[in-house]
Amino acid sequence: MLKRINALLLILISIFLVSCVDPTQDTSKDAKTLIIRKITCSVGERVQIRVLNLEEGETVSFSYDSDAIYIEDGFVEGMLAGQTVQVSATSSKGGRGSFTVEVEEDNYSPTFDQSSWFNEINIDKVQNLRQDFPLGIDISTLYEVLDKGGKFYNHEGLRQNVYQILKNNGVNYVRLRLWNDPYKTVTQNGQEVKIPYGGGICDLPRILEIARSAKKAGLKVLLDFHYSDFWADPSKQVIPKAWLNYTTSDQIAQAIYDFTYQTIETLDKAGAKPDMVQIGNEITPGMIIHAPGANEYIVENSQPALSSAIRGSYSGASVNLKKYIKAGNDAVKDYDSDILTVIHLAKGMSGTDFIKEFFHTFDSIDYDVIGLSYYPYWHGTVSQLGNTVRALAQEFPTKLISIVEISYGFTYASHPNANNIFSPSGNAKPVSGYSVNPQGQADLLVDVISTLSAVSQGYGIFYWEGCWIPVSGVGWAEAGTKNSWANQALFSYDGKALPSLRVFKDIK
């Protein structure tokens, strides 16, 4: 009898103990511990995470609480120097583990920079700034700058992922130019070799990588179609090589549509769909106007005119030009009607009547944004800009108005890898009221942003090539050319953020 009572007590105790176990916990003595070694990397370096005891088909997810690293597709990338991050790992079969990632120290150590560039500056607040106001920077050359060894440092002098630096300073947009095929094909030793024209080599693979990185940092993207294999601007609008055999404007229009649509689709599939798209770049004289010259696209201003049958000049009825702009605009809207479209003009602000007439050319096209270049040393005073912006707001009440290119110099100092056009004697000279230092850059930006925000349709600025620091091999064209914009960047020659970069955050 006593034996039966004892057995019954043992059963009851066992039931009680089982009921006290947390069912969410893995009580198995055989639960696997994932074996992952410590990882050391530098900022910008991607290192594969190797789990040493994974079974076939077993996958691993990672969690961490830091912006000093970024993990994607089994690779870890350093984002902020001098940091150590603890990472937890969980496998699809219940395994757990942890490891550390150490991002190597990399502190700012100047070689060419001047200490006065980093003096504190005053930045005025801007009133009536709309919540969705784009505060952007064109970073089209960034892929090549990083690839050739360029580094970027935050205001504290720590090396950091450049997209994070931009985001932390209030930048919310990047602008990226796209060239169709920026390469010259030559024969060397019986083999065809593609030689890049230079200037950042802004082909689709590079632009896609920049756009993906920008999106990962939470930045929006303005994609600038040049519809050319190299620079397109008021002096030249050269047809891409792939379209040279076309003889009708309908063929060109279809090519523009297809290239635009397919490019956006490719970016979207890679997680980098643009939020805004420019249909051409500084199309003051039109678009698809010139044929390649003797040196293809490398030598400026040497291209002959195309046949009038396909030339998209801005003059008279501008039939071909309107057809080409419509084709690009339709491609964007057919893919995603929420993507904003921009028509971009470069013209002095004293020519308000010309500017109004130009944009009236496209009244039948459902685009969204009037885009202007505004360089004060070429396009007039801020007061003249204000007159033009107010006139356009009144003339085109349904259109937004953006300054899609602007810049100014912070120094006259030379650099071995730069041939700066901004200088007292160059074709880009300092203007009255804006000193040549980071304070002058900030003052200009504040004044222009204030000018835009004074009208309800004012919609953003994009600082041109703010990250184009002077790195060897990253010139405006082929090998041997130099950086022409280094002293108008928002980073010092050695890549440290200038005080003027804070404008995008501090104006708020």
**Alpha helices (H) along 99-154:** 142-147
**Residue among 106, 105, 61, 101 nearest 85 (CA):** 101
Name which of 203, 212, 327, 326 is nearest 263 in CA terms. Answer: 203
Closest C-alpha among 308, 86, 312, 73 to residue 212: 73
Please report the DSSP string for 143-156 in residue order: HHHHHTT---B-TT
> Cα–Cα distance between 490 and 498 in angstroms, integer?
6
Question: Residue 358 corresponds to which tokens in the numbers above?
Answer: 């130009």
- Decide: 126 and 177 in contact? Cβ < 8 Å: no
CA dihedral of residues 220, 226, 232, 234 (deg, nearest 10): -80
Instruction: Report the b/e string of 325-342 with b at 16+ CB within 10 A.
Output: bbbbbbbbbebeeebbbb
3-state secondary structure of 80: strand
Are the C-beta atoms of residues 475 and 94 closer than 8 Å to each other?
A: no
User: What type of residue is 454?
Assistant: A
DSSP letter (8 states) at residue 384: H
Q: Which residues are catalytic?
A: 282, 405
The sign one gets for the Cα dihedral 487, 171, 214, 456 is negative
10 Å Cβ neighbour count for 131? 4
Of 247, 258, 316, give the one whose Cα is nearest residue 288. Answer: 247
The angle subtended at Cα 457 by Cα 453 and Cα 459, nearest 5°, is: 65
